[in-house]
Structure 1
């Protein structure tokens, strides 16, 4: 309704305009905001490039890695930057639903809590021993 009243139908089609209940659209329409990649902005502001220049391995994570992860979420942005510098990238997540053929383009390995404990509720209730096991596996296979 707002977009029609102001004649901003093109703006409403901008990537990210519908995120967070249309907050992106409202910010662009009323505040002349511009859409920027959140992960790029954070990496630029926190010295991410400098950290990557010193890295031999990158470990990133998310609660669930799935098709949405590929749509501009932090793990994808981090992985793309690291891979461009030939730095291997590992992901740690609660659950991974990505096809390995797709995930292998970004991540050398994905360590999912549900690969170590099939009961997702147990993963949520008691993640520490699972994460310790994942940390051990990462050290064993990637830090030797």
Structure 2
């Protein structure tokens, strides 16, 4: 309604306009703010390209990897940059809801806590042995 009254319907469809409950839209509409990818900005500001140039393997992670992860979240942005340079990317997460085909486009492997322990509450209560197992598997399969 707000965007129609002010003739801002195109602006409402801009990527990021719905972020943080519409804060992106309000900033663009009222402050003439521009939208930038958060992960791109962070990688650019922290020397991410330089780090990738020196990397043989990238390990990234998130609590749950799902369809929302593909919509510009940090693991996806990092994976796309690394894969473009031919660097393999692994993901470590609490739970993965992506199918193998989508996963393989971004990540060489996804190590999910729930692959080691199906009870999510147990993963939260006692993560150390699971993380140790994931670390062992990463070392065994990717660092030889």
- With normalisation by structure 2, the TM-score equals 0.97
Give distance in 1, aligned partners of 2:127 and 2:34.
38
Per-residue deviation, 1:61: 0.3
Give distance in 2, aligned partners of 1:108 and 1:75.
13
Which has the higher mean CA deviation after the structures are superposed, 6-15 or 111-120?
Answer: 6-15
Q: Which runs of 5+ in 1 are unaligned?
A: none
Partner of 2:132: 132
1:5-42 per-residue CA deviation (whole Å, 9 max, x = no partner) reads 32211111111101111000001011111111111000
1:55-77 per-residue CA deviation (whole Å, 9 max, x = no partner) reads 00000000111111111111111
1:78-135 per-residue CA deviation (whole Å, 9 max, x = no partner) reads 0000001100000000000101011101100000000000001111122121111111
- With normalisation by structure 1, the TM-score equals 0.97
Give distance in 2, aligned partners of 1:48 and 1:18.
27
Give distance in 1, aligned partners of 2:41 and 2:71.
16
1:36 is paired with a residue whose SS is coil
Give distance in 2, aligned partners of 1:127 and 1:136.
14
Give distance in 1, aligned partners of 2:102 and 2:108.
11
2:61 is paired with a residue whose SS is strand
Give distance in 2, aligned partners of 1:62 and 1:22.
23
Per-residue deviation, 1:4: 2.6
Which has the higher mean CA deviation after the structures are superposed, 2-11 or 130-139?
Answer: 2-11
Give distance in 2, aligned partners of 1:132 and 1:28.
45
